[in-house]
């Protein structure tokens, strides 16, 4: 990967300095070296005066690459933006009142530089350096993509990075749990996990049914990781052709049955009792209350508005995603369980209703209490900068239910979604319309 190159433009009308030694550089015929730029401080007309920091960037890039080879936390994108970010402080005194353009052959690096943010904490620190330099020197930074070379190692690294993004984080976590269960079982009985024999698979199913006391649907889910493990190692899937395993699963299904016990529903009565135990002058309590009402009226999972893991602006709901309307609020969701690839947006209506269960009134009070918060930050906060996480929501929910004397053994986050759908059915809303509101594609809403 070519090290990033920077161009600096200053909008001033002077004569263009002569420079005949940089015509070979593909970026611009006006490319000048750092020493030349120190003598010639301005560029003009239809050209960009450019500072070539290739030599400095290359040295820093080499250093970063050396460190990144020892640690998997750095990708080629990280190396590119680190190289540019490390070069900028050296030349920041030359950026006064100028526009700085960073040329890179890494499309991801260009994207992060233009956005000014990254999930990688070290790269985010570099982005803050860019912001600080731009504020101190009254300059603006942007990045442009230029075609560059590639190596087999670079493509292999990027292929590995893309494979890690194939599954949603929740799916990947579930598969890790299933794989650990299978690997631990194989370790206990001292058999190799791959390739799995028919006897090993039959013993594992029996172990899940008799020792772990799993339901039949859970046993099927735990078996799903085994084909993935084999295919990732270029081994044939052992399950489809294993009649003995199918025969055993039929017996397990007959003994355990397939009936599923759904979670209990949250009713308006539950919400009233929850509301009575909250202090709505507290940001944390009011954020929790808003999450309850959004999940109930929007037929959502609380995880749609509460943060799981690290906050990601492209994935999680932000303050700017909540828009006031004459009839209430409109919430825009860009990532849900069924929207994984930014193919569409989900618009949730949160109307004004009479009584203390009004979601619009609760949101209005919360927005007033947290006025001045970052519009691009998390929608629901428990403090000045701490987002409402799903773990905090779940813990507070069970604590409130216990205080209210409500059995919480079968009330989960999904109970709000089921409760909202059940309430709509009770007031006469057709099932087809409920499916549209809750974006159900199957008949699961009728269970």
pLDDT band at residue 372 using 50, 70 and 90 as cut-offs: confident
Average pLDDT over residues 18-40: 37
pLDDT tens track for 292-324: 999 999 888 888 888 888 888 888 899 999 999
C-beta contacts of 235-242 below 8 A and 24+ residues apart: 235/194, 235/195, 236/195, 238/195, 238/196, 238/197, 238/198, 238/201, 239/201, 242/198, 242/201
pLDDT band at residue 50 using 50, 70 and 90 as cut-offs: very low
Please state, in angstroms and rounded to a whole number, the distance separating the CA atoms of residues 163 and 176: 15
CATH number of 167-256: 1.10.150.130
Percent of the chain with pLDDT over 90: 34
Quote the pTM value. 0.61
Q: What pLDDT score was predicted for residue 45? A: 26
Average pLDDT over residues 354-371: 92
- The domain segmentation of the chain, as residue ranges, is 5-161, 167-256, 268-446
Average pLDDT over residues 218-247: 92
pLDDT tens track for 64-94: 333 333 333 444 555 555 555 556 666 667 7
CATH number of 268-446: 1.10.443.10
Question: Which residues lie below 8 Å from residue 40, measured CB to CB, with a gap of 6+?
Answer: 17, 19, 32, 49
238 touches 226 (CB < 8 A): yes
303 touches 385 (CB < 8 A): no
Q: CA angle at residue 278 from 272 to 283, to 5 degrees?
A: 130
User: Over 80: is that where the pLDDT of 257 sits?
Assistant: yes
pLDDT tens track for 328-339: 999 998 888 777
Percent of the chain with pLDDT over 70: 77
Average pLDDT over residues 211-229: 92
Q: Which helix (H) or strand (E) holds 268?
A: helix 268-276
Q: Which helix (H) or strand (E) holds 173?
A: helix 169-188
**Lowest-confidence region among 45-59, 192-206, 272-286:** 45-59
167-256 with 268-446: one CATH topology? Answer: no
Query: Of 205 and 42, which is predicted with more confidence?
Result: 205
Ramachandran quadrant class, 320 (left: phi over 0; alpha: psi -120 to 50; beta: rest): alpha
Please state, in angstroms and rounded to a whole number, the distance separating the CA atoms of residues 177 and 195: 19
Q: What pLDDT score was predicted for residue 90? A: 66
Supply the angle between the helices 169-188 and 198-206 in degrees, to the nearest 10.
100
pLDDT band at residue 19 using 50, 70 and 90 as cut-offs: very low
């Amino acid at each position: 990967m070519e090290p990033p190159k920077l161009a600096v433009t200053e909008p001033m009308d002077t004569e263009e300095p002569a420079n005949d030694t940089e015509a070979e550089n593909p970026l611009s015929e006006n490319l000048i070296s750092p020493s030349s730029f120190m003598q010639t401080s301005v560029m003009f007309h239809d050209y960009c005066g450019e500072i070539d920091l290739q030599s400095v960037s290359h040295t820093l890039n080499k250093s970063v690459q050396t460190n990144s080879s020892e640690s998997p936390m750095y990708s080629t994108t990280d190396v590119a933006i680190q190289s540019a970010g490390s070069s900028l402080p050296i030349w920041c005194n030359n950026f006064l009142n100028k526009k700085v353009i960073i040329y890179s052959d890494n499309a991801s690096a260009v994207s992060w530089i233009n956005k000014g943010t990254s999930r990688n904490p070290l790269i985010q620190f570099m982005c803050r350096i860019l912001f600080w330099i731009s504020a101190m020197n009254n300059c603006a930074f942007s990045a442009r993509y230029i075609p560059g070379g590639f190596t087999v190692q670079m493509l292999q690294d990027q292929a590995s990075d893309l494979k890690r993004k194939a599954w949603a984080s929740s799916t990947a976590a579930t598969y890790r749990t299933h794989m650990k269960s299978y690997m631990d079982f194989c370790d206990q009985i001292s058999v190799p996990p791959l390739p799995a024999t028919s006897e090993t698979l039959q013993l594992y199913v029996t172990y899940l049914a008799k020792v772990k006391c799993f339901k039949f649907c859970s046993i099927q889910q735990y078996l799903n990781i085994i084909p993935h493990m084999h295919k990732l190692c270029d081994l044939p899937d052992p399950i489809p052709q294993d009649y003995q395993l199918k025969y055993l699963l039929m017996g397990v299904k007959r003994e355990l049955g397939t009936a599923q016990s759904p979670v209990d529903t949250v009713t308006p009565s539950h919400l009233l009792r929850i509301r009575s135990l909250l202090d709505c002058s507290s940001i944390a309590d009011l954020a929790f209350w808003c999450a309850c009402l959004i999940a109930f009226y929007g037929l959502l999972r609380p995880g749609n508005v509460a943060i799981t893991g690290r906050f990601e602006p492209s994935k999680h709901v932000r303050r700017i995603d909540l828009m006031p309307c004459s009839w209430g609020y409109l919430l825009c969701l860009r990532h849900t369980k069924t929207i994984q690839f930014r193919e569409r947006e989900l618009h949730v209506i949160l109307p004004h209703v009479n009584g203390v269960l009004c979601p619009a009134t609760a949101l209005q009070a919360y927005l007033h209490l947290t006025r001045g918060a970052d519009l691009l930050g998390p929608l629901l906060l428990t403090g000045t900068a701490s987002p409402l996480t799903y773990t905090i929501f779940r813990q507070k929910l069970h604590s409130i239910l216990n205080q209210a004397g409500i059995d919480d053994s079968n009330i989960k986050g999904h109970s709000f979604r089921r409760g909202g759908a059940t309430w709509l059915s009770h007031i006469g809303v057709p099932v087809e319309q409920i499916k549209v509101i809750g974006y159900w594609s199957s008949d699961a809403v009728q269970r």
